[in-house]
Amino acid sequence: MPRQQNANIAEANKTPLACLIIEDSTFDQVKMTRIIHRNMSDTQIYVATTLREARQTLAKYPVSVILLDNHLPDGLGADFAVELAELKIFSHIAVVMVSDWPTPFMWAKAATAGVLHVINKSEFDQQYILDAFKHAQKMGKPRLH
């Protein structure tokens, strides 16, 4: 069933599906990558371990979904989510915050930024990926005027 959903999303989008994982833990990067590939095998995955690397990736490649840790070596993911929401060129990207310990501060920032889901890493599974890509499909690419 998930692979059929993936095919439907890709067909409706007419663009390659791409996910940016912003996570400094190699273990969590591998876990997220496996879940994505198990359910959406044709998805392009980019990995950044810092916000700086994430900004560089976003400048080079189109991304539909971001999986975002909150505690990164060069800043907070919640602040980065707000930054993305304020930039029209990136505001269409579906963001899922995946953190070890979601805090009330992080929830508040995430709500301000329009983050789709805030979840504990231990709860992360295919439903959040599929929902994020469905959301990204509805949002489409930004129209710049």
Cβ neighbours of residue 55 closer than 8 Å, sequence gap 6 or more:
none
Q: Is the dihedral of CA 21, 23, 24, 28 positive or negative?
A: negative
- Across the chain, mean pLDDT equals 88
Residue spans per domain, the chain: 19-139
Identify which of 98, 127, 90, 97 has the alpha carbon closest to the alpha carbon of residue 111.
Answer: 97
Domain 19-139: give its CATH superfamily: Response regulator (3.40.50.2300)
Span 51-106, pLDDT tens digits: 999 999 999 999 999 999 999 999 999 999 999 999 999 999 999 999 998 888 88
pLDDT of residue 145: 31
Q: What is the mean pLDDT of residues 113-135?
A: 94
